[in-house]
A and B are shown apart, each in its own frame.
Chain A
Amino acid sequence: MKKLSDQQIIESVRDGNQSDYSIIVDRYKNNAFSLLKRMLKNEQDAEETLQDCFLKAYSSLNSFKGEAKFSTWFYRIVYNTALTKLASKKRKIENEMSSVDEHFDLKSDYDYNVSERKDMSEFINELVNKLPEKHSAIISLFYLDEMSCEEISKVLDISISNVKVMLHRSRNALRDLIIEKNLVKELI
């Protein structure tokens, strides 16, 4: 069967077939959940926030003009809702430039024990969860949602060069950690 595009599903929902919205929910729930889990660092918060995001998106469907891709529009809602959630939890939200300049030290944040390790992908996954919110959001959008730096810049409302800086910085931090822990050979 031919897979319906997001735009076709949205048109159908607008025409009164509300149950078709479940196709959109099924299509985006896991990737959006991954993004929120990495940003909020909490599974329960991530799921509750994601439900709110889908409700927000439903109530704003009429304002979606289709100029941008639905995924970009939806992830903007997800990202901004996550920021609001973080702010409500009185976490420190820094502006774009300070986030780019944000220095994080995964080495001190993560005590890696080879004997406790189950597999490398789990290890990398845990490290990504340790990254600051914006950096882990970029990693999630770039690798899981396969978005381009341009699309990510639209979602996060920052410049493309800042997206690249944060992406590179995250990769470098992960790389430095595996070099320090002598895991390069294991990975190979």
Chain B
Amino acid sequence: MNLLSDEILNKYLDGELDKNQSAEIKEILNKSENDRKRFSALKLIHKELSLMQEDKASVDFTESVMRRVNKKFVLPKQQNYFIFSIASIFVIVCLGIVAYVISAILSSSPMQTESLQITETVNRLGNGLILELKKLFSGKNLSIIGSVFSLGILISGYFFFEQQKRSKINLGA
């Protein structure tokens, strides 16, 4: 006849019983062969499970995960940085040109008095802006600006090409 429940045996195995309860169980196990057999089997199962080996993932598993991580998260981020930096350079160059033109207009105009109308200032600024831009994009200046932009485009093209090459290598690896 079984005296001990499965729950008690499992708790005894896991050391979840207090001293008195454990002593009581020990005594019962000494007396009951059936319970002793059940407990021995349970203990052996516990031992075998403790010795259980982990299964191995494939050899190239880590590389495979890292490739997917790069493809999904790292490369798009790098490409975004690249596009952002090119756009920033372009915006800075444009702002520089506008700032240069405005400063040229302001320096060529006579000193303003407070009583002058704002509209006159805006008009003069507008006309001056057109004139200065015309001056800037004509003759020698135009070829200089053209050269600077061409250089910028060449450098951007080089980096873009390198970026694409790296992406292809990462995807193909």
Residues of chain A touching chain B, judged by Cβ–Cβ distance below 8 Å, are 18-19, 21-22, 25-26, 29-31, 33-34, 37, 43, 47, 50-51, 54-55, 58-59, 120-121, 124-125, 128, 139, 143-144, 164, 167-168, 171-172, 174-175, 178-179, 184, 187-188
CA of A24 to CA of B131, assembled, Å:
63
B31-49 CB contacts (< 8 Å) to partner A: 37-38, 40-42, 44-46, 48-49
> Which of chain A's residues have a CB closer than 8 A to the CB of B44?
178, 184, 187-188
> Which of chain A's residues have a CB closer than 8 A to the CB of B74?
18
Contact B41 A143 (CB under 8 A): no
Contact B52 A144 (CB under 8 A): yes
5 contacts between A and B (CB under 8 A): A33-B55, A33-B57, A143-B52, A167-B10, A184-B37
> Which of chain A's residues have a CB closer than 8 A to the CB of B48?
120-121, 124, 187
CA of A19 to CA of B42, assembled, Å:
45
CA of A50 to CA of B65, assembled, Å:
9
CA of A125 to CA of B7, assembled, Å:
23
Instruction: Quote the shortest CB–CB distance from B81 to chain A (angstroms).
Output: 11
B15-62 CB contacts (< 8 Å) to partner A: 37-38, 40-42, 44-46, 48-58, 61-62
Q: Chain B, 3-20, contact with A by CB distance < 8 Å: what is the 0/1 string?
A: 000110010000000000
B168 beta carbon closer than 8 Å to chain A: no
Which residue of chain B has the shortest Cβ distance to A29 in the bound complex?
B57
CA of A156 to CA of B14, assembled, Å:
21
B-side interface size class = 20 to 34
CA of A43 to CA of B20, assembled, Å:
47
Which residue of chain B has the shortest Cβ distance to A19 in the bound complex?
B66
> Which of chain A's residues have a CB closer than 8 A to the CB of B54?
30-31, 33-34, 144
> Which of chain B's residues have a CB closer than 8 A to the CB of A128?
49, 52
> Which of chain B's residues have a CB closer than 8 A to the CB of A187?
41, 44, 48
B103 beta carbon closer than 8 Å to chain A: no
Instruction: Quote the shortest CB–CB distance from B63 to chain A (angstroms).
Output: 8
Which residue of chain A has the shortest Cβ distance to B61 in the bound complex?
A29
B70 beta carbon closer than 8 Å to chain A: yes
Instruction: Quote the shortest CB–CB distance from A128 to chain B (angstroms).
Output: 7
> Given A139-B49, A179-B41, do A25 and B56 touch, yes or no (CB 8 Å)?
no
> Which of chain A's residues have a CB closer than 8 A to the CB of B38?
175, 179
Contact B70 A30 (CB under 8 A): no
> Which of chain A's residues have a CB closer than 8 A to the CB of B98?
none
CA of A94 to CA of B68, assembled, Å:
33
> Which of chain A's residues have a CB closer than 8 A to the CB of B58?
47
